[in-house]
Structure 1
Amino acid sequence: MISIRIVVVEDEAATARNLVHFLTQTDQNIKVVTVLGTVAGAVEWFEANQDAYELIFMDIRLADGLSFDIFKQTRISRPVIFVTAYNDYAIAAFKNNGIDYILKPFDPAEIERALGKYKNWMAAPEKKIKPVFDDLLAQLGSLTKSFKKSFLVHYRGKLFPLETAKIAWFYTAAEVVYARTVDEKQYIVEFTMEQLEQQLDPDSFCRVNRQFIINRLAVTEAEQYFNGRLLVKVTPQADEHIIISKARTAEFKNWMNR
């Protein structure tokens, strides 16, 4: 069988190594041609190596921008399997456009499924790439949206903007959502936790359980807890334990390792 030459576009060294390992373990005919970590580096490489690969595994967020910027600066004539930590709203666009995706943290079975989809695409009598990319870029415009920089909060009968960067964590109790700041002040926020998830930058904030959304900069350490769970410690200290379930432990570690 002819080998599949793959380019990996991923700025996190550990993630790239894991992906390369999974790919080569999944199919012995796979050859990873190169690993690229930036938009600028990828544009330069693809410009000079249009015929050196058959398939791309590409992360959405790179060190110097979104990987979609690559398509705006150079011609990509091969199929792409996106690597993403985004959830439902982005996945819908991938499905609608027939381009596959895998979620972080990686599942070898998902990588194998994505490769199977690529092979089916190769077997199709008519292959279209560029129109698909155009539609995808249009639908994923929301990924480039700016996240909330501040929240309007009440304090002593007045309203003022609270900078998002100054919030250490959000938590909910008795159906009320609070924001605790790095200087240990607390304010009521008039959004649900679900709404906050959509408004906060996922690189900076992570919903670790039903009660807490925490700022990466507020995390001081995490330790093993009962039954495979994690106990996360933050500053300022929370009034109750912040526990991450066993099912979400890998996702949290991956977020912290970005």
Structure 2
Amino acid sequence: MRLYIIEDEVVAAERMQELVRQTSPDAEIIGLADSIEDSVQYLQNNPMPDLILMDIELVDGQSFEIFKEVEVSCPVIFTTAYDEFALQAFKVHSIDYLLKPIQREELQKSIDKFRQLQKVYGGGNRPDYSELVQELRRSTAPVNNTWREHFLVKQGQRLLSISIDEIAYFYSEDRVTFLKTHDNRFFPLDYTLEEVEQQVDPRQFFRASRQFIVDRQAIGNIYIHFNGKYKLTLKPATSEEIFVSRDRGAEFKKWLGA
């Protein structure tokens, strides 16, 4: 079993490695990262591991951002000191969610669960987890497809209800989330982009980058960029360039109907 660890606390990373050695002597720890940036770089340029142990709160943000930059095609066990991220964790292909401090018995149960899944969906020395990943996504999909139809925003002393059909895109700037309407109005929101992404219909909106979630009707032009990326122009125009990463390119084309 080839295992990759993503953890930004030195003591926690050392403990996790020791727990892995105790619970799975046959496991090969192929790498250790402490940030979103390092994780993405490794996963983009190396064979996918069999399993990832992933802390949620990293030095440069929440590890959910990794899934926006690279197609993670193996199961993940999330670790965190907080239980508030459980639902979001299971909306990606997590097989378990462990609260810190991690106990040996809990990690053992998670590893055993992975090995059972490996027997069902894997085969040979390097299992293909694509079927497992798809099953995890299906099993953690929302029970009802009810998406936000309005967002309540402030304008001075007034509260306005903005219809979802009025929104061109959501974006993050200086740690604040904004929505911009098709008629070029913008308002701050009391949600993170990750929270917005879970509330809007994915058939209508696409997470184009870490900073932008875009409505289909807001896309002006699409340019093929170098290294397999796509460059977007939006309506209304933005002050910065927007790129869909190479790893999300196929998903983006499928969303467009290509």
TM-score range, shorter chain: 0.3 to 0.5
The structure whose Rg is larger is 1
TM-score, normalisation: structure 1: 0.48
TM-score, normalisation: structure 2: 0.48
